[in-house]
Amino acid sequence: MSNFKKILIPTDGSEYTQKAITQGLEIARVMGAEVTALYVVDQTSFVNFPMDSTVVSIYSLLEKEGQDAVDHVVEEGARVGVKVTPLVQEGSPVKRIVELAKDHDLVVMGTLGRTGISKILLGSVAERVVRFAPTPVLVVRSNIQEE
């Protein structure tokens, strides 16, 4: 196995990413690696909306959610003795993850495990990251079942 020194853990703050966070931090602990916890505020959701006060409020809420999500990874990292750098960025999640993967040895991320028409309609960030990332990607399926 390669010696991973820098691990990127993208998170959306949901319970679906918790298993990936745990797995990524364990790999970092064993390898003596540092972790970057990444949350991407998806700007593509706001492309067709004028920047009025409602959109600005939603955007601020997403930024806060992102900060909370990466802070959670920092706290979990401290609990297991792993240094975690929090990072909240704007843009397309796939593009930002792939860009940041260039500076990391491994990407560890979760997936909802969608199948069938749901996967076709919604696409999969994890699937596209696996396809385009220049570094290895470990996709960790959540134990939580979709309803």
DSSP-derived letter for residue 81 is T
Runs of H (alpha helix) within 44-92: 53-80
CATH number attached to the domain at 6-141: 3.40.50.12370
DSSP-derived letter for residue 133 is -
Q: Cβ-count burial of 48 within 10 angstroms (0-12 exposed, 13-18 middle, 19+ buried)? A: exposed
**In the chain, where the domains are located:** 6-141
Which pLDDT tens digits describe the chain residue by residue (147 residues)? Answer: 568 999 999 998 888 899 999 999 999 999 999 999 999 998 766 556 566 666 667 778 888 999 999 999 999 999 999 999 999 999 999 999 999 999 999 999 998 655 555 455 445 888 899 999 999 999 998 775 544
pTM: 0.86
CA 10 to chain centre: 2
